[in-house]
Structure formats: C-alpha cells, structure tokens
C-alpha cells in the first residue's frame, strides 16, 4: 500500500469564467493564509480598500466569503 503526500496540483474547470472573490474564498478555505495574502497585496501600494474573509453557510453549503471593501 502506498501512502500519498499532500496534493500539489489543482485543476480548475472554468469553462464559463471564474469570479475573483469566489476563487480567493475557495483558496482560503483550502488553506491559503489570509494574513499572508493581505501582506502580499499591501506590497502593491494601493489605498482605499480593506479585505475580509469569513466562514458562511448558505443553503446547507459551507464556504469562505471573501470581500474587497472600497472606502
């Protein structure tokens, strides 16, 4: 029996496009560190926005809701 290590490849079937907020929410849900993402985005020197990521449930589906709030 072979025990596999962590998966390092993710395939996205985005035949009709992909929403940035939903993509980032799913990446955070998979384990991407929100604080690290925020730190990297601060390097762009953009102002007038804040980020939020919160676990939500809608119609019995759990996930992470990612938002960019413009000030």
Whether residue 10 contacts residue 38, with contact meaning beta carbons closer than 8 Å, is answered with: no
Whether residue 21 contacts residue 69, with contact meaning beta carbons closer than 8 Å, is answered with: no
Nearest to 62 by CA among 28, 29, 24: 29
Distance of alpha carbon 62 from the chain centroid: 14
Render each residue's pLDDT in the chain as its tens digit; 71 residues: 667 777 778 888 888 988 999 999 999 999 999 999 999 999 999 999 999 999 999 999 999 999 999 99
C-alpha dist (Å) from residue 50 to 3, 23, 40, 67: 41, 17, 13, 8
Report pLDDT for 60. 92
Distance between CA atoms of 57 and 55, rounded to whole angstroms?
Answer: 7
pTM summary value? 0.76
């Amino acid at each position: 029996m072979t025990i596999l290590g962590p998966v390092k490849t993710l395939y996205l079937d985005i035949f009709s496009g992909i929403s940035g907020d939903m993509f980032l929410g799913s990446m955070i849900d998979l384990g991407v560190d929100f604080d690290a993402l925020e730190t990297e985005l601060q390097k762009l020197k953009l102002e007038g926005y804040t980020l939020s990521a919160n676990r939500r449930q809608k119609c019995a589906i759990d996930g992470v809701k990612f938002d960019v709030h413009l000030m």
